[in-house]
C-alpha cells in the first residue's frame, strides 16, 4: 500500500555565522514506497526526464545486502515526487554515477559494488532493465569519464593498488579493465579534474595506507603519465575534492582523513605543481565527505564537511586563509554525501546531504540558499526532506 508521509520538523536553532538556523513546524513531502529503501548510501543528481531541472538518483541498501535504486522527480519548485524504484540483486552496493552511456541524449547510470551494473534510461526517465557488467572488478571508488576521447564515457576506478580503465563500447558494454597504474596502496576516492590547465582532464586519487595523494597527467587519446605525488603527508587520506578556492582559475585540492580527523587545503600553482598542504581543520571528528560552494555569495568557494551528525562550513577568507568551522546542521546522521546544485531554479546553488542514518534519520535533505551576502542558508524554512525513512508500507 502506498502512502504519503508528512513530516513535521520541530523548532531548533543552530548559530551559523551571522545566520540563524530555525526549523519551525512545516508539512514536507517525503517518500513512502512499497519497498524498503532506507539507509541511503550514495546519490547524485541530473536531469533524468529532460525537463530542464535536476532530479535525484539514490542508492540504498538493507543490512548491506541487496540494494535499491530510486529516483525522485523534481517538480521545479524544490519539491520532489517518487517516479520509479528498482530492486536489484547486487550484493553489497556501494556507489553510483550518472552518465549518458550510449550517447542517446539522456542520463543512464552505473552502480558499483561487488561488481558493476548499468541501467539504461529508456527516455523521459523510464528506466530499463539492469545489465550486469562482467568486468572482474567492483568496489566503491569510480568515476565516469571519456578517457580515450572517442565520445563515450568510460569507467575509471581505484581499487587496492591499481587505477583501472574500462572502455565503453557505446552499446552498454565495456571492455575488461586495463591497468593504468599499480602504484597505489589501498586506493580510496578518485576524481577527474584539469590539474595543469591544458584542457585535459587528469586523474587524482587518494592512497590510504601510504597517506599519499597522486595525480596522473592526461596526455590525450587514453595516454597518461606515470604517477606524480601531490603530497605524501596526508595521514590515511580518504576523501578529496577540487575547486578554485583562491580565484586564480585553476583547480585546488581539499583533502580529508576520517582516521585522523583532519582537513587540508593544497594550492595548485597552475602547471601541475602544488604547494605544501595547509591544515584547515582538525576538530571535525571523522569527516566522511567534502564539497565546496559560495555560501556567502562573496564570489569565493567555501569548504563544506560532512561529519556525523553535523555538516560544517569553513569560510574562505581569501589569501589561503580559512575561518574556524561552523555548524550548518546537526541533523545529518551518518552523512555519506554532500554536494551543491540549483534544485529550485532560483539561480542559486543549494546544499544537499545524503544520510544513511537509521529507521528515522536517513534520507536526502536540502538547505536553501537565500542569496543574501554573508547569510547563506535560509532556515526560517527548514531543511527540506526530499526522501526520509523510506520503509515498507
Give residues with Cβ within 8 angstroms of 313, minimum separation 6. 16, 17, 295, 302, 303, 304, 305, 325, 326, 328, 376
Q: How far apart are CA 198 and CA 203, in angstroms?
A: 13
Q: How far apart are CA 12 and CA 329, in angstroms?
A: 10
Q: How far apart are CA 313 and CA 305, in angstroms?
A: 6
| pLDDT for residue 132 | 62
pTM value is 0.85
Q: Is the peptide bond before 212 cis (omega within 30 degrees of 0)?
A: no
Give the pLDDT of the chain (393 residues) as one tens digit per residue.
Answer: 333 332 222 323 333 333 322 232 222 223 322 233 357 788 889 998 899 888 888 887 765 556 677 778 888 776 777 766 655 555 677 888 999 999 999 999 888 877 788 888 887 767 766 666 666 666 679 999 999 999 999 999 998 899 999 999 988 888 888 999 999 999 999 999 999 999 999 999 999 999 999 999 999 888 898 899 999 999 999 999 999 999 999 999 999 999 999 999 999 998 889 999 999 999 999 999 999 998 777 889 999 999 999 999 999 999 999 999 999 888 888 899 999 988 888 888 888 888 876 545 567 888 877 766 543 454 323 445 554 443 322
| pLDDT for residue 186 | 94
Q: How far apart are CA 12 and CA 2, in angstroms?
A: 31
DSSP 174: B
| pLDDT for residue 32 | 29
Q: How far apart are CA 342 and CA 374, in angstroms?
A: 19
Judge whether 297 and 376 are in contact, CB under 8 Å.
yes
Q: How far apart are CA 278 and CA 94, in angstroms?
A: 31
| pLDDT for residue 85 | 64
Q: How far apart are CA 3 and CA 33, in angstroms?
A: 7
Give residues with Cβ within 8 angstroms of 287, minimum separation 6. 239, 256, 257, 258, 261, 263, 305, 306, 307
Amino acid at each position: 500500500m502506498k502512502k504519503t508521509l508528512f513530516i513535521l520538523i520541530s523548532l531548533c536553532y543552530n548559530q551559523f555565522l551571522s545566520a540563524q538556523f530555525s526549523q519551525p513546524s512545516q508539512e514536507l513531502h517525503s517518500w513512502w514506497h512499497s519497498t524498503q529503501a532506507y539507509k541511503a548510501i550514495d546519490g547524485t543528481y541530473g536531469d533524468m526526464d529532460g525537463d530542464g531541472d535536476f532530479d535525484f538518483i539514490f542508492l540504498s541498501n538493507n543490512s548491506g545486502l541487496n540494494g535499491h535504486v530510486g529516483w525522485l522527480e523534481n517538480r521545479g519548485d524544490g519539491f520532489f515526487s517518487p517516479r520509479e524504484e528498482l530492486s536489484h540483486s547486487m550484493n553489497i552496493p556501494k556507489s553510483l554515477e550518472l552518465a549518458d552511456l550510449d550517447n542517446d541524449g539522456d542520463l543512464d547510470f552505473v552502480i558499483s559494488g561487488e561488481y558493476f551494473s548499468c541501467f539504461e534510461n529508456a527516455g523521459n526517465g523510464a528506466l530499463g532493465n539492469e545489465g550486469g557488467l562482467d568486468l572482474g572488478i567492483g568496489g566503491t571508488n569510480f568515476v565516469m569519464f571519456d578517457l580515450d576521447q572517442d565520445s563515450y564515457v568510460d569507467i575509471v576506478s581505484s581499487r587496492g593498488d591499481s587505477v583501472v580503465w574500462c572502455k565503453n563500447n557505446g552499446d552498454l558494454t565495456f571492455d575488461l579493465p586495463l591497468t593504468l597504474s599499480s602504484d597505489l596502496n589501498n586506493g580510496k576516492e578518485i576524481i577527474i579534474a584539469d590539474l595543469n590547465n591544458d584542457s585535459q582532464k587528469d586523474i587524482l586519487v587518494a592512497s590510504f595506507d601510504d597517506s599519499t595523494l597522486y595525480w596522473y597527467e592526461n596526455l590525450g587519446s587514453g595516454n597518461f603519465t606515470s604517477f606524480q605525488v601531490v603530497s605524501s603527508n596526508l595521514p590515511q587520506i580518504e576523501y578529496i575534492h577540487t575547486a578554485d578556492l583562491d580565484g586564480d582559475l585553476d583547480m585546488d585540492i581539499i583533502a580529508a582523513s576520517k582516521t585522523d580527523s583532519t582537513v587540508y587545503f593544497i594550492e595548485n600553482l597552475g602547471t601541475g605543481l602544488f604547494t605544501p598542504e595547509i591544515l584547515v581543520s582538525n576538530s571535525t571528528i571523522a569527516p566522511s565527505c567534502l564539497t565546496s560552494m559560495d555560501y556567502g555569495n562573496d564570489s569565493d568557494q567555501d569548504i563544506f564537511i560532512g561529519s556525523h551528525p553535523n555538516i560544517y562550513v569553513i569560510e574562505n577568507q581569501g589569501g589561503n586563509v580559512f575561518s574556524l568551522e561552523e555548524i550548518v546542521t546537526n541533523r545529518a546522521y551518518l552523512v555519506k554525501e554532500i554536494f551543491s546544485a540549483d534544485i529550485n531554479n532560483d539561480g542559486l546553488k543549494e546544499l544537499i546531504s545524503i544520510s544513511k542514518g537509521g529507521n528515522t534519520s536517513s534520507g536526502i535533505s536540502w538547505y536553501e540558499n537565500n542569496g543574501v551576502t554573508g547569510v547563506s542558508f535560509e532556515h526560517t524554512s527548514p531543511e527540506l526532506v526530499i526522501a526520509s525513512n523510506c520503509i515498507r508500507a
